[in-house]
């Protein structure tokens, strides 16, 4: 009963946070963490023991899967060198530099444990990045780089954490063996994601062939995909996180959405948005619930004189060191890439100093960091000594999470103020072009169906009448809304078949634009959502017309009697 009450309370607070964000000038994650802290801070406050493995299984796979679906693939391919440089290169650079710096500043932290802390602090939080770095704050390319980085660096950071913990427990570490194992674990995780994706696509195609299956069944199968990918990878000690991300990134290429029925696609789109909002909110609420307990137990190593400011300044200094490491890597990577592109004679997207600062501040830490640090063992062996400096690194990790979120929330709007967002206009142009191409494809298909019926006078007349209703609607992109008359019954079958064919032509045209990379997934989702909504509304209108026609016929029959 206590668990059920906790779940209901968290859902209520998630909904409340969605209302509060309209009145408070704070990012949604900050509000949700604050609500969690308020629940846990009083003497008799709520206490929730967070099981890291269960947390990673329940929340991380579906959220990273959804983020993988939502990430524009065209931009991801174009910006892949920058994304991989941050997601993998920066992670290893942070582990080495921050690990040695922490060991030097706090000798009480053994070097392997310092590396473990650096590993969990290296991943940025995808949810926090998306919430803080909004569409109206930074250019689209910068946002795509940050979102792509936060998708992939979870896997690299947690894999390095595994090796750092093993080194702390055994006292043995081999750089060559670690690097080789990392490659195998990452590649194996991606392979597990592809395998699960392929199997799910086969299952959905079989379900589609069976026919007359409730759309909810298809949606449930799709929801289970990230969990299946994660568990399959973890079963073989591979990266489950990378498996879930891979499944999300390549779901469109696997043709899964094409295998779904129209009602299932509509339900899936709505469900993805709902799950993303709810799970993200619960994650930050749980994060807030954990922080008071961690902060109350200030490690003596950070409070030599027993003052409040000592641990605060220590955490702030370590956060600034992390930001300095990130800024140095971004500057280095941008310089090298600029030199290479100049040598090749190509133009490249150049980062100004302000954009480099924006990307630095946007490296916020979140739920993955907390779950990773809480997964450290309590003892070196079953009856052995405690894990060295565990309470200290847990406290530092929690402090850096808060510090990075607050700094980003306060400083990012100031630093990003006035940055040109010209690229956002490109997205609007793409959407207008996609709507135009889709409408033209629908009109062409309708006209083709009319021409095909010329040899059958009755069918030709019905289709021509239907076309006269549909084509103006497509040309004006508004609902026809014609009055009910006695001819509707005669052209109804032709009208419905032409509507279905026109919507299919629109979707095929949009998929063609996506394959040719003339639009990205964001534009595709926006326009195809409109197409599907129009299809649903037209279907309801035609159903209402049929119902009204039947009522009218029945009334006339009754009058004749």
Average pLDDT of 262-269?
A: 73
Alpha carbon dihedral 239, 86, 402, 63, in 10-degree steps, equals -40
Q: Which long-range contacts (CB under 8 A, 24 or more apart) does 165-168 make?
A: 165/112, 165/116, 165/376, 165/377, 167/112, 167/115, 168/110, 168/112, 168/113, 168/116, 168/380, 168/387, 168/388
Identify the pLDDT of residue 136: 65
- Number of Cβ within 10 Å of residue 524's Cβ equals 22
Whether the predicted pLDDT of 396 surpasses 60: yes
Identify the pLDDT of residue 228: 94
Identify the pLDDT of residue 63: 82
Whether the predicted pLDDT of 227 surpasses 90: yes
- Sorted by sequence, the CB contacts under 8 Å of residue 159 that are 6+ apart come out as 182, 185, 186, 239
Identify the pLDDT of residue 12: 93
∠ Cα 410 413 415 (to 5°)? 100
Token code pair at residue 36:
């969690």
Reported residue count of the chain is 561
- Sorted by sequence, the CB contacts under 8 Å of residue 83 that are 6+ apart come out as 76, 145, 148, 149, 152
Q: What is the DSSP string of 281-341?
A: HHHHHHHHHHHHHHHHS--GGG-SS--SHHHHHHHHHHHHHHHHHHHHHHHHHHHHHHHHH
Q: Which residue would you say has higher pLDDT here, 258 or 300?
A: 300
Identify the pLDDT of residue 489: 43
Identify the pLDDT of residue 347: 65
- What span, in angstroms and rounded, lies between the C-alpha atoms of 291 and 287? 7
- What span, in angstroms and rounded, lies between the C-alpha atoms of 388 and 436? 63
Closest by CA to 401, choosing from 156, 128, 138, 131, is: 128
Identify the pLDDT of residue 340: 79
Average pLDDT of 229-257?
A: 85
Identify the pLDDT of residue 118: 93
Whether the predicted pLDDT of 412 surpasses 50: yes
pLDDT band at 479 (very low <50, low <70, confident <90, very high): very low
pLDDT band at 543 (very low <50, low <70, confident <90, very high): low
Whether the predicted pLDDT of 192 surpasses 80: yes
Helix then strand then coil, in percent of the chain rounded to 5, is 80, 0, 20
Per mean pLDDT, which of 223-232, 249-258, 293-302, 493-502 is the most reliable? 223-232
Whether the predicted pLDDT of 191 surpasses 90: yes
CA 207 to mean position of chain CA atoms: 27
- Sorted by sequence, the CB contacts under 8 Å of residue 561 that are 6+ apart come out as none
Identify the pLDDT of residue 55: 79
- What span, in angstroms and rounded, lies between the C-alpha atoms of 266 and 257? 11
Which H helix or E strand runs over 463? helix 457-476
Closest by CA to 298, choosing from 369, 406, 367, 398, is: 398
- Sorted by sequence, the CB contacts under 8 Å of residue 262 that are 6+ apart come out as 532, 535, 536
Per mean pLDDT, which of 181-190, 394-403, 470-479 is the most reliable? 394-403
Average pLDDT of 363-374?
A: 84
Phi, psi (rounded to 5 degrees) for 363: -80, 60
Q: Which residue would you say has higher pLDDT here, 295 or 331?
A: 331
Whether the predicted pLDDT of 32 surpasses 50: yes
Average pLDDT of 194-217?
A: 85
Identify the pLDDT of residue 164: 84
Burial class of 49 by CB neighbour count within 10 A (0 to 12, 13 to 18, 19+): exposed
Burial class of 292 by CB neighbour count within 10 A (0 to 12, 13 to 18, 19+): buried
Closest by CA to 415, choosing from 489, 339, 352, is: 352
∠ Cα 283 289 294 (to 5°)? 115
β-partners of residue 379 are 386
Q: Residue 260 gets which letter from DSSP?
A: S
Domains delineated in the chain:
2-421 (1.20.1530.20), 426-560 (no CATH)
Identify the pLDDT of residue 330: 94
pLDDT tens sequence across 99-157: 999 999 988 888 889 999 999 999 888 777 777 776 567 777 888 888 888 888 877 88
Mean pLDDT rounded to a whole number for the chain: 79
CB 218, CB 260: distance < 8 Å: yes
CB 434, CB 463: distance < 8 Å: no
pLDDT band at 72 (very low <50, low <70, confident <90, very high): confident
Whether the predicted pLDDT of 337 surpasses 90: no
Average pLDDT of 64-88?
A: 84
- Number of Cβ within 10 Å of residue 336's Cβ equals 11
Whether the predicted pLDDT of 428 surpasses 90: no
Identify the pLDDT of residue 195: 93
Identify the pLDDT of residue 554: 47
Whether the predicted pLDDT of 558 surpasses 80: no
Identify the pLDDT of residue 250: 85
pLDDT tens sequence across 480-526: 333 333 333 444 566 667 767 777 787 788 888 888 888 877 787 77
């Amino acid at each position: 009963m206590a668990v059920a009450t906790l779940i209901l309370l968290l859902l209520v607070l998630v909904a409340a946070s969605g209302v509060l964000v309209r009145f408070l000038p704070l990012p949604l994650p900050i509000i949700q963490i604050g609500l969690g802290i308020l629940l846990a801070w009083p003497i008799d406050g709520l206490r929730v023991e967070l099981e890291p493995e269960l947390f990673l299984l329940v929340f991380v796979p579906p959220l990273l899967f959804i983020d993988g679906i939502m990430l524009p693939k065209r931009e991801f391919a174009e910006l892949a060198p920058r994304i991989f440089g941050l997601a993998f290169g920066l992670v290893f650079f942070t582990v080495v530099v921050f690990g040695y710096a922490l060991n030097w500043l706090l000798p009480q932290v053994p070097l392997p444990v310092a590396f473990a802390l650096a590993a969990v602090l290296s991943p940025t939080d995808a949810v926090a990045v998306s919430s803080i770095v909004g569409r109206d704050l930074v250019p689209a390319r910068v946002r795509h780089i940050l979102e792509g980085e936060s998708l992939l660096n979870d896997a690299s950071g947690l894999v390095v954490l595994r090796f750092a913990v093993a080194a702390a427990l055994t006292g043995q570490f081999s750089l060559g063996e670690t690097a080789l194992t990392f490659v195998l674990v990452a590649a194996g995780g991606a392979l597990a994601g592809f395998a699960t994706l392929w199997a799910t696509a086969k299952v959905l195609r079989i379900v589609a062939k069976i026919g007359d299956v409730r759309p909810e069944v298809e949606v449930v199968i799709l929801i289970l995909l990230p969990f299946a990918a994660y568990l399959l990878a973890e079963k073989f000690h591979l990266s489950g996180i990378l498996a879930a991300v891979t499944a999300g990134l390549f779901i469109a290429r696997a043709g899964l959405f094409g295998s779904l029925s129209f009602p299932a696609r509509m339900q899936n789109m709505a469900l993805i948005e709902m799950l993303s909002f709810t799970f993200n909110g619960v994650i930050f609420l749980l994060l807030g619930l954990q922080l008071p307990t961690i902060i109350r137990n200030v490690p003596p190593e950070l409070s030599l004189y027993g003052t409040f400011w000592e641990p605060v300044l220590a955490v702030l200094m370590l956060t600034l060191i992390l930001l300095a490491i990130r800024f140095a890597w971004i500057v280095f990577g941008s310089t090298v890439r600029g030199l290479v592109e100049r040598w090749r004679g190509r133009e490249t997207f150049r980062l100004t100093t302000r954009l480099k600062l924006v990307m630095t501040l946007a490296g916020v830490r979140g739920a993955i960091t907390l779950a990773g640090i809480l997964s450290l063992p309590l003892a070196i062996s079953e009856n052995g000594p405690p894990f060295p400096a565990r309470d200290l690194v847990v406290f530092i990790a929690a402090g850096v999470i808060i510090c990075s979120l607050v700094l980003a929330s306060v400083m990012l709007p100031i630093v990003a103020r006035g940055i040109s967002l010209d690229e956002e206009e490109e997205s609007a142009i793409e959407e207008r072009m996609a709507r135009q191409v889709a409408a033209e494809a629908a009109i062409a298909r309708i006209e083709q169906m009319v021409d095909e019926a010329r040899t059958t006078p009755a069918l030709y007349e019905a289709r021509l009448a239907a076309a006269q209703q549909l084509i103006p609607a497509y040309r004006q992109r508004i609902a026809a809304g014609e009055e009910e008359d006695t001819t509707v019954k005669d052209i109804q079958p032709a009208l419905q078949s032409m509507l279905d064919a026109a919507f299919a032509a629109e979707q095929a045209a949009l998929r063609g634009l996506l394959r040719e990379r003339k639009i990205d997934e964001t534009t595709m989702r926006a326009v195809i959502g409109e197409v599907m909504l129009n299809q649903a509304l037209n279907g309801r209108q035609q159903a209402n017309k049929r119902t009204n026609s039947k009522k009218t016929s029945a009334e006339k029959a009754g009058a004749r009697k």
